[in-house]
Chains A and B, each alone.
Chain A
Amino acid sequence: QQQVKQSPQSLIVQKGGISIINCAYENTAFDYFPWYQQFPGKGPALLIAIRPDVSEKKEGRFTISFNKSAKQFSLHIMDSQPGDSATYFCAARGTSGSRLTFGEGTQLTVNP
């Protein structure tokens, strides 16, 4: 059972453009929604995270938008750079414990 659905599977953006990755979840008990960035040969690294009591969180060029009623959240990368090319994972965690459920991942390519 896939509790966190992520789209698109792959995304190609020109340098300077905006990259948008979307996630939808089913479990209303989820209370923590992080995004991870993974470069080839490396482990996923925490990029930015949000809790459901706010609708948006911004850190530099990265913004999470959160829609609790629609059970959706998205990552926006402003002024995308070739160095942002990586695989991005959304995730969600329930209140009952610390298990993270990951989305399927999005392969982002930013062309120079």
Chain B
Amino acid sequence: DTAVSQTPKYLVTQMGNDKSIKCEQNLGHDTMYWYKQDSKKFLKIMFSYNNKELIINETVPNRFSPKSPDKAHLNLHINSLELGDSAVYFCASSQRLVGGAGDGYTFGSGTRLTVV
């Protein structure tokens, strides 16, 4: 049973289209994230939600909009896709403990987005 699952695994789309990536975790974690991994493998945080509340919103174009219907789901919607959006997008989750401490992240397998 996959702990953090993302769909789709691959996404090829044309410039200007709108697309969504879905993420679900069954670990009971209360914090979820979206990371972008570029062609050089660098992992950059985009958003973080804690129990459906947005807590991290990095400098990301407002074409990217996260949505968390409940604490087990965090979806990413991207409007007006551009060539530069091509990357691998990872969803992750973690459990935030008392005092702000927490354990490591659990990542999904990623969604490879290719904009043509």
Residues on A facing B (Cβ under 8 Å) = 31-32, 34, 36, 38, 41-46, 49, 87, 89, 93, 95-102, 104-105, 107
User: How far is it, in angstroms, between the C-alpha of A34 and the C-alpha of B108 when the chains are bound?
Assistant: 17
**A11 CB → nearest B CB, Å:** 14
* Interface pairs A-B: 7 shortest CB-CB: A43-B107, A46-B104, A102-B43, A98-B102, A105-B41, A34-B104, A98-B96
Q: Is the CB of B105 within 8 A of A104?
A: no
Known: A46-B106, A89-B43, A96-B100. 9 other contacts (CB 8 A): A43-B4, A43-B90, A43-B108, A87-B41, A97-B56, A98-B94, A98-B102, A100-B105, A104-B42
In this complex, how many residues of chain B approach chain A with their Cβ under 8 Å: the count is 25
> A89-B43, A99-B56, A105-B41 given as contacts; is B102 within 8 A of A43 (CB)?
no
The 8 Å CB contact of A93, one of B102, B106, B110, is B102
User: How far is it, in angstroms, between the C-alpha of A89 and the C-alpha of B109 when the chains are bound?
Assistant: 16
User: How far is it, in angstroms, between the C-alpha of A96 and the C-alpha of B101 when the chains are bound?
Assistant: 8
Closest residue on chain B to residue A42 by CB atoms:
B109
User: How far is it, in angstroms, between the C-alpha of A105 and the C-alpha of B43 when the chains are bound?
Assistant: 9
Per the 8 Å Cβ criterion, residues 65-115 of B in contact with A are: 90, 92, 94, 96, 100-102, 104-110
User: How far is it, in angstroms, between the C-alpha of A32 and the C-alpha of B4 when the chains are bound?
Assistant: 22
**A41 CB → nearest B CB, Å:** 7
Q: Is the CB of B94 within 8 A of A43?
A: no
Is B31 an interface residue, CB under 8 A from the partner? yes
**B19 CB → nearest A CB, Å:** 20
Q: Is the CB of B31 within 8 A of A98?
A: yes
> A97-B100, A98-B31, A105-B41 given as contacts; is B55 within 8 A of A45 (CB)?
no
Q: Which residues of B are found within 8 Å of A104, using beta-carbon distances?
A: 40-42
**B111 CB → nearest A CB, Å:** 10
Q: Is the CB of A45 within 8 A of B107?
A: yes
Q: Which residues of B are found within 8 Å of A105, using beta-carbon distances?
A: 40-43
- Which of B42, B105, B107: most chain A CB closer than 10 A? B105
